[in-house]
A and B are shown apart, each in its own frame.
Chain A
Amino acid sequence: MANSFKDKTKHAFTHLIMVLSSVIGLLFATPNLLYSREPLDSEIEKALRKTVTCERIEIKTKRGADKGGKLESLFIKFVSMPKNILPADYVTVQYTNPQIDLGTLKKSNIFAITSYSDFKIGMLVSEQTIKDEFEKTAKRLSFHYDKFLIKFTPPFIELEFDIPVNTIPLKDRKLIEKFTINSRLKGYAALRLEVHDNKIFVSPAKVILNHFLVPMPVLAELQKRINPVYQITRIRPFNYDLGKVELLNQYILFSN
Chain B
Amino acid sequence: MRKNKLRLLTYILIVITVALIGYVAVLYWRGGVSNYEPPKQIYATSRERVQSDLQNLSKAVEAYFVINMEYPRKLELLQPAFLDHVSNDPLSGKAYLYTLYDTGGASRYRISVPDPELYNAKELYIENGKLVQR
Contact = CB atoms under 8 A, between A and B. Distances in A.
Contacts of B26: 213
Interface in A203-233: 205-206, 208-215
Contacts, number: 101
Given A251-B63, A253-B62, A96 B80 contact: no
A248 B104 contact: no
17 contacts: A60-B69, A72-B106, A91-B66, A92-B65, A92-B66, A117-B106, A122-B62, A124-B63, A124-B66, A187-B31, A190-B37, A190-B38, A206-B39, A213-B28, A215-B27, A251-B81, A251-B82
B36 interface: yes
A198 interface: no
B38 A156 contact: yes
B7 interface: no
Interface in A54-95: 58, 60, 62, 64, 72-73, 75, 77, 90-92, 94
A146 interface: no
Interface residues on B, range: 20 to 34
Contacts of A205: 38-39
A153 interface: yes
Contacts of A94: 65
Given A190-B39, A212-B28, A213-B27, A248 B107 contact: no
A158 interface: yes
Given A117-B104, A118-B106, 5 more contacts: A188-B36, A211-B32, A214-B27, A248-B83, A253-B62
Instruction: For chain A, give the interface size range.
Output: 35 or more
A154 interface: yes
A154 B82 CA distance: 10
Contact of A250 (B35, B65, B80): B80
Contact of B35 (A72, A117, A208, A255): A208
B105 A72 contact: yes
B16 to A, nearest CB: 17
Contacts of A41: none
Contact of B105 (A62, A92, A214, A255): A62
A246 B26 CA distance: 32
B113 interface: no
Given A122-B65, A213-B35, A250 B82 contact: yes
A248 B82 contact: yes
Nearest to A159: B36
B32 to A, nearest CB: 6
A242 interface: no
Nearest to A62: B105
Contacts of A73: 105-107
B60 interface: yes
Contacts of A194: none
Contacts of A42: none
Contact of A211 (B31, B69, B84, B107): B31
Interface in A142-161: 153-156, 158, 160
B31 A122 contact: no
B30 interface: yes
B110 interface: no
A48 interface: no
